[in-house]
A and B are shown apart, each in its own frame.
Chain A
Amino acid sequence: MDQRLDRGHSTLTGTDQRTRTRLGIFLWGIPLVFLAVFFFLPLGRILWTALQAALKSTTIAFNIRQVSEPLWFTTWQAVLSTLLTLLLGLPAAYLFAHYAFKGKSTLKVLTTIPFILPTVVAAAGFNALLGPRGLVNLGLMHLFNLSSAPITFMNTLGAILLVHVFYNTTIIIRVVGSAWSQLDPRWEHSARVLGASRWQTLREVTIPLLRPSLLAAALLVFLFDFTSFGVILLVGGPHFTSLEVAIYQQVYSMLNLPLAGLLSVVQLACTFLVTLIYTRINGSRNIPLMPHLNSEGLRTAKTRSEKLFLHSMTTLLILLLTLPMLAMVLRSFLRLGADRGESGAVAIGFTLQYYQQLFINSNQSIFYVPPAQAAVNSLYYATITVILSIGLGLLATYAITRSARQARWLNTLITLPLGASAVTLGLGFLVTFNIPPFDPEHFPLLIPIAHTLVALPFVVRSVQPVLASIPASLRNAASVLGASSWKVWREVEFPIIGRAALVGAIFSFTISLGEFGATSFLARPDRPTLPIAIARYLSLPGDLNYGQALAMSTLLLLVCGLAIFMLEHIRLPGVSEI
Chain B
Amino acid sequence: MKSKILSIVIILGLFSLALSACQTQSNGPTTLTIMTHDSFAASDSVIAAFEVANNAKLVFVKSGDAGAALNKAILTKDNPQADVFYGVDNTFLSRAISEGIYQAYASPVLTDIPEQYKLDATNQALPVDYSDVCVVYDKAYFVDHNLPVPQSLDDLTKSAYKNLLVMENPASSSTGLAFLLATIAQYGPDHYLDYWKQLKANGLVVVDGWETAYYTNFSGSSGKGAQPLVISYASDPAAEVINASSPVTDSPISSIIGKNMCFQQIEFVGILKGTEHLVLAQKFVDFMLSQQFQEDMPLQMYVYPVNSRAKLPDSFVKYAQVPEEPATLSPEVITANRDQWINDWTEAILH
**A interface, CB within 8 angstroms of B:** 30, 49, 120, 123-124, 127, 131-133, 148-149, 154-155, 233-234, 237-239, 245, 248-249, 251-256, 335-336, 338, 340-343, 346, 351, 353-354, 357, 361, 363-368, 384, 387-388, 390-391, 394-395, 427, 430-431, 434-437, 439-445, 520-521, 524-525, 535-536, 538-547
Known contacts A343-B141, A437-B17, A543-B222; can you find 14 more A-B pairs with CB under 8 A? A123-B212, A131-B225, A149-B226, A254-B171, A335-B222, A346-B224, A391-B2, A427-B72, A431-B76, A435-B79, A437-B19, A525-B61, A541-B233, A546-B223
Given that A132-B217, A365-B42, A543-B244 are contacting pairs, would A254 and B342 also be in contact in the complex, using a CB cutoff of 8 Å?
Answer: yes
Q: In the bound complex, how far is the Cα of B79 from the Cα of A431, in angstroms? A: 9
Is the CB–CB distance between A256 and B339 below 8 Å?
yes
Q: In the bound complex, how far is the Cα of B62 from the Cα of A239, in angstroms? A: 30
Q: In the bound complex, how far is the Cα of B220 from the Cα of A133, in angstroms? A: 12
Most buried by A among B43, B216, B242, B245: B245
Select B245's contact among A123, A148, A544, beta carbons within 8 Å: A544
Is the CB–CB distance between A525 and B72 below 8 Å?
no
Given that A363-B300, A539-B39 are contacting pairs, would A525 and B62 also be in contact in the complex, using a CB cutoff of 8 Å?
Answer: yes
Q: B264 near A: Cβ within 8 Å?
A: no
Of chain A, the residue at the smallest CB distance from B58 is A366
Q: In the bound complex, how far is the Cα of B233 from the Cα of A127, in angstroms? A: 23
Q: In the bound complex, how far is the Cα of B64 from the Cα of A536, in angstroms? A: 11
Chain A positions within 8 Å of B244 at CB level = 542-544
Select B9's contact among A253, A336, A388, A440, beta carbons within 8 Å: A388
Chain A positions within 8 Å of B39 at CB level = 539
User: B277 CB to closest chain A CB, in angstroms?
Assistant: 15
Chain A positions within 8 Å of B41 at CB level = 365-367
Is the CB–CB distance between A541 and B71 below 8 Å?
no
Q: In the bound complex, how far is the Cα of B240 from the Cα of A542, in angstroms? A: 4
User: B86 CB to closest chain A CB, in angstroms?
Assistant: 13
Is the CB–CB distance between A351 and B226 below 8 Å?
no
Q: B45 near A: Cβ within 8 Å?
A: yes
User: B281 CB to closest chain A CB, in angstroms?
Assistant: 17
**B interface, CB within 8 angstroms of A:** 1-2, 5-6, 8-9, 12-13, 16-17, 19-21, 23-24, 33, 38-39, 41-45, 47, 59-65, 67-68, 70-72, 74-76, 79, 81, 92, 95, 140-141, 144, 169-172, 177, 206-212, 214-217, 219, 221-226, 232-233, 236, 239-240, 242-246, 248, 252, 299-300, 302, 338-339, 342, 350
Of chain B, the residue at the smallest CB distance from A445 is B12
Given that A391-B5, A441-B59 are contacting pairs, would A253 and B224 also be in contact in the complex, using a CB cutoff of 8 Å?
Answer: no
Chain A positions within 8 Å of B68 at CB level = 251-252, 521
Chain A positions within 8 Å of B59 at CB level = 441
Select B206's contact among A123, A237, A336, A439, beta carbons within 8 Å: A237
Of chain B, the residue at the smallest CB distance from A357 is B245
Is the CB–CB distance between B211 and A343 below 8 Å?
no
Q: In the bound complex, how far is the Cα of B63 from the Cα of A521, in angstroms? A: 6
Is the CB–CB distance between A542 and B242 below 8 Å?
yes
User: A136 CB to closest chain B CB, in angstroms?
Assistant: 14
Question: What are 9 inter-chain pairs, A to B, with CB distance below 8 A?
Answer: A233-B172, A256-B339, A365-B300, A437-B17, A441-B61, A442-B19, A442-B23, A445-B12, A520-B38
Q: In the bound complex, how far is the Cα of B171 from the Cα of A285, in angstroms? A: 48
Select A430's contact among B8, B23, B75, B240, beta carbons within 8 Å: B75
Is the CB–CB distance between A238 and B233 below 8 Å?
no
User: B305 CB to closest chain A CB, in angstroms?
Assistant: 16
Is the CB–CB distance between A545 and B243 below 8 Å?
yes
Is the CB–CB distance between B172 and A155 below 8 Å?
no
Chain B positions within 8 Å of A524 at CB level = 61
Chain B positions within 8 Å of A239 at CB level = 206, 350
Is the CB–CB distance between A252 and B65 below 8 Å?
yes
Given that A238-B206, A335-B246 are contacting pairs, would A255 and B215 also be in contact in the complex, using a CB cutoff of 8 Å?
Answer: no
Select A387's contact among B5, B21, B61, B226, beta carbons within 8 Å: B5
Select B208's contact among A233, A535, A536, A545, beta carbons within 8 Å: A233
Q: In the bound complex, how far is the Cα of B246 from the Cα of A353, in angstroms? A: 9
Of chain B, the residue at the smallest CB distance from A449 is B9
Of chain A, the residue at the smallest CB distance from B220 is A340
Of chain A, the residue at the smallest CB distance from B143 is A341
Chain B positions within 8 Å of A338 at CB level = 246, 248, 252
Q: In the bound complex, how far is the Cα of B20 from the Cα of A437, in angstroms? A: 6
Chain B positions within 8 Å of A441 at CB level = 33, 59, 61
Is the CB–CB distance between B222 and A252 below 8 Å?
no
Select A253's contact among B76, B172, B232, beta carbons within 8 Å: B172
Select B64's contact among A149, A252, A354, beta carbons within 8 Å: A252
